[in-house]
Amino acid sequence: MESGGESAIVTGAAALVAAVESLTNLSLIPLPDTDIVALMQQIETCTRRLASVQRDLIVQACARSLPARNGSGSPALYLQSVLHISHGDAINRWRAAEDLAVWHRVGDNADADMVPVLPSVAQALDEGAISLDHVRVIRQVMNRLPGKVAPEARAYAEKQLALQARALDPTHLPRIGEMILGFLDPDGKLTEDADRQNQRSAVLSPQRYDLMSTLTVELTPDARAAFDAVMAKLARPGMCNPADKESPWAEDEDNPVPRDVLEACAARDERSKAQRQHDALLAVLHPDFNPAELGSHRGLPVSTIMTMSIEDVERAAGVATTATGGQVPVENALRLMARHCKTFVLVKNKNGMPLHIGEIRLANPAQRLALIATERGCTRPGCSAPASMAAAHHVTEFSKGGPTDIENLTLACDHCHALVKDGPRGWKTIKLGADSDFPGRTAWIAPAHVDPSRTPRVNHLHHPGELLTEAPPSMGPRNYCNPVRPQPVRDRSVRRTSTPPARQ
């Protein structure tokens, strides 16, 4: 924030209050749709930029010892008291100020300001390009970086997270963080499998007065992959519904549940996802349950499907991606495959796309496996639905002469598939040519009211490595881990104008 005189600050604040007062007294009804969207975006940007002003006000409050003079035990409690916000919100604002603000030194180096711990994130917030929710998630990801990560690699991670936060909502940033961690530690997470095994647990609480119980589970990657595969089948709408007498609880290959029956059950299914997963777990735990009765899901037998690169297979390192969007260490995936899994070999071209397989109306299991391995999930930009929730979609509709060849197939979840239709409000899908940045990939074209430019776009969420705009620091793989824990960015030996207390 630029310095200014007292009158300039007072005048600016008064103008802000007047502008807000004016907006709240105006009717928005006359505005056309495009202006409504533009105004929403402008207001969001202003709100985010005001978070930077709030951050600097917190710095000034601490510099003047206002929390201590107020009798508060910490800056967070002070903010909670004077702003009447929740304790969690107050802590988030205080911690954001800790890492994003410019703090002033006192003592021998009083003239030198302390740079923000997360400078790229601070700049993005100043510009209104990201929100405090983005900041919170980025801080969580950065705090997960092992202490042995070298400073230049840590700076790379922060820069990439700040860059991607400008285009993604906060819920997608952890996936980018996982990808960055994979680059910084190419042999897999620093946490070894033995550590994960030590953390596995399943704790059932005593029954409450209402006879309900709480189950707290820490799943290993192997268990999570198996859990996801079963839930994708049994926890889908319409399945295992105790309130619906016609709801199927199981099926087998010889007696599959008729599609119209399941669709009718799903249409009247009012359960939440959490309730459906509870009922699916109940079905699995029933004494009469037979794993063979799981049948198939979207054309494939219910099983754990994992995709890994040949490079990771050869060195037995890295992570494999499951059809539900999870990750399993390659070493574990190979061990599971050696025990009781069929091997599916997919031949890809130089662009990572599957080769031609066949031509029928419905995608066969081999084609669906190929789509899972290459696309990993719904291909509409911004959709995070994993492959287990997506169906094979003809880029050029079958009714319009589109073949059921792998080159004309893609993955689309039920919601996104319904968006593809003729007319000005429909989405379109195309396959990108060899001269594009992503040859062979499926691109979606939004209708003009969503994207006036009608630019074909691909979904990067299932391929987070594509979002990294530059390579990690040019060091050997092992050099990302410094044997000596690096010093914090701030010099803790020099006092701030107000020393922050312990975190709440």
Confidence of residue 487 (pLDDT cuts 50, 70, 90): very low
Report pLDDT for 295: 52
Angle at 63 between CA 58 and CA 64, to 5 degrees: 100
How high is the pLDDT of residue 267?
93
> What would the pLDDT profile of 184-226 be if each residue is shown by its tens digit?
776 655 566 776 787 788 888 888 888 888 998 988 888 887 7
Helix (H) or strand (E) holding 38: helix 33-63
Better-scored residue on pLDDT, 427 or 304: 427
Cβ neighbors of 288 (< 8 A, separation 6 or more) are none
Q: Looking up tokens 């690169």, which residue turns up?
A: 309
Most confident of 34-38, 222-226, 497-501: 34-38
> Could you give the percent of the chain with pLDDT greater than 90?
27
295: left (phi over 0), alpha (psi -120 to 50) or beta: left
Look at residue 356 and give its three-state secondary structure: coil
At 376-424, the pLDDT tens digits run 889 999 888 888 788 888 888 766 667 777 778 889 998 898 899 888 8
Q: Does residue 36 carry a pLDDT above 70?
A: yes
d(CA 175, CA 145): 14
Q: What is the pLDDT of residue 501?
A: 44
Out of 83-97, 266-280, 468-482, least confident range: 468-482
Task: Supply the pLDDT for residue 493.
Answer: 34
Q: What's the confidence (pLDDT) of residue 150?
A: 81
Between the ranges 95-99, 368-372, 407-411, where is the mean pLDDT highest?
A: 95-99
Q: Please say whether the beta carbons of 218 and 503 come within 8 A.
A: no
pLDDT at 425: 87
Distance CA 17, CA 24 (A): 11
Query: Residue type for 48, please?
Result: R
Least confident of 1-5, 23-27, 406-410: 1-5
The answer to whether 357 and 364 are in contact (CB under 8 A) is yes
- Kindly tell me if the per-residue pLDDT of 147 is higher than 80: no
The mean pLDDT of the chain is 77
Residue 164 CB-density burial (10 A; 0-12 exposed, 13-18 middle, 19+ buried): buried
pTM passes above 0.85: no
- The yes-or-no verdict on residue 495 having pLDDT over 90 is no
Contact 318, 188 (CB under 8 A): yes
First and final C-alpha spacing in the chain: 27
pLDDT score for 254: 59
How many CB atoms within 10 Å of residue 58? Answer: 23
Q: Partners of 218 in the beta sheet?
A: 201
Q: What is the mean pLDDT of residues 159-167?
A: 93
d(CA 35, CA 129): 20
Poorest-pLDDT segment among 49-53, 68-72, 172-176, 327-331: 327-331
Of the listed ranges 72-86, 144-158, 490-504, the least confidently predicted one is: 490-504
Q: Where are the alpha helices (DSSP H) in 309-417?
A: 310-315, 330-340, 365-375, 414-417
Mean pLDDT of 478-490: 37
Residue predicted with more confidence, 408 or 323 = 408
HEC assignment per residue over 140-151:
HHHHHCCCCECH
Confidence band of 481 (pLDDT split at 50, 70, 90): very low
Phi, psi angles (nearest 5°) of residue 473? -50, 135
Counting every residue written for the chain, the total comes to 504
Distance (Å, whole) CA 358 – CA 404: 7
Q: Residue 225's pLDDT is what?
A: 79
Q: Residue 473 — very low, low, confident or very high, per pLDDT cuts 50/70/90?
A: low
Q: With contact defined as beta carbons under 8 Å apart, do 318 and 186 qualify?
A: yes
Residue 358: pLDDT over 50: no
- Tokens 């059921």 belong to 404
Instruction: Specify the amino acid at residue 430.
Output: I
pLDDT at 489: 38
pLDDT tens digits, residue range 43-52? 999 999 999 9
Distance of CA 109 to the CA centre of its chain: 42
Spatial contact of 497 and 103, defined as CB atoms under 8 Å apart: yes
138: pLDDT strictly greater than 80: yes
Range with the largest mean pLDDT of 148-162, 223-237, 403-417: 148-162
Rounded (to 5) percent helix, strand, coil in the chain: 45, 10, 45
State the pLDDT confidence band at 312, using cuts at 50, 70 and 90.
low
Residue range 28-42: mean pLDDT, rounded: 91
Report pLDDT for 6: 74
On the question of pLDDT at 344 being above 50, the answer is: no
Residue ranges in 327-472 assigned as alpha helix (H): 330-340, 365-375, 414-417
